[in-house]
Amino acid sequence: MNNIPNRQAICEVLCEAAKTDKNIVVLCSDSRGSASLTPFAKQFPEQFVEAGIAEQDLVGMAAGLAKNGKKAFAASPACFLTTRSLEQAKVDVAYSDTNVKLIGISGGVSYGALGMSHHSAQDIAGMASIPNMRVYLPSDRHQTACLIKALLEDEKPAYIRVGRNAVEDIYQEDTVPFEMDQANILGQKEGLFQVLLVACGEMVRPALEAALALEKEGISAEVIDMYCVKPLDTKTLLAEAVRAEIVITVEEHSPFGGLGSMVSQFVSQTCPKKVINLSLPDSPVVSGKSKEIFDYYGLNLRGIADAAKKALSCLE
């Protein structure tokens, strides 16, 4: 069982890269511990900035450093980074086209027991609506590492959301199929099939488990790991959606403005067919551990599989 959360994978990549690249700067909002960035702060104190509990200042400073040639990675709890500093993300980062990577840690319902104030169920919608801002939700530690390495090589703004807890590996370290802004297909089918599951972030694992369970019941299903929520990989989505009977999106987000909304909009315009969106509700989410919350709202193997079977039965 994997015990390494995606946030730790980010730190490991940045620590390795900073050994030879002194332009890498990491900023935190009194969150180096929860972001797993304490090792970076200890190894590279001259390349680390502690902004304190001041997310707007955090993003503004990151943008200023980027304008002076630095590769800025600003980490803060997703619930605060994407709300308190939305204007700075919009103006200082995206509009000004600065080389800032915003890392939203403990995304979704990772802070489950702390309730709505600490949930980030609107971050995809908020950040994706900003022109020039890319949005990524990697599914496991290996994909996270590949993503951060790729982002170190470009100078464009981006928002990366990762959860707090370790998630089971989707990929093998030595064989991660990664291409920037290209989704991965898991369990790809030949010809026509019944269920296409499109998921991002921590929802890729339960989507994959649901696909395997459906296969055992004689229902053909494949999964798209849409880690690149913006820009959405519409080429892969179209190629698979046209061959599926139904499309189901799965996300740890509000039902509005996230992956489900984007997929529904695209599919309706290019290959109209039934799209089911599985997400958190449009109401304050119950408190509890992440798994308890996922189970409560059916964002798990059984809930996804049952939704697929129900949708298929409506086509008969």
The answer to whether residues 2 and 141 touch, using CB atoms and an 8 Å cutoff, is yes
- Which H or E element spans position 79? helix 78-81
Annotated catalytic residue 215: no
Which residue in this structure is represented by tokens 């290959």? 271
Q: % helix / strand / coil in the chain, to the nearest 5?
A: 40, 20, 40
Cβ contacts of 273 within 8 Å, gap of 6 or more: 241, 244, 245, 246, 247, 267
The answer to whether residues 59 and 93 touch, using CB atoms and an 8 Å cutoff, is yes
Apex 158 CA angle, 233 and 239, nearest 5: 0
Supply 231's token pair: 């820009």
Check 12, 55, 173, 252 and give the catalytic one.
55
* Residue in 204, 238, 243, 244 with CA at minimum distance from that of residue 224: 204
Supply 241's token pair: 């959606």
Instruction: Tell me: cis bond preceding 39? Omega within 30 of 0 counts.
Output: no
Task: Give the residue numbers annotated as catalytic, written as ranges.
Answer: 55
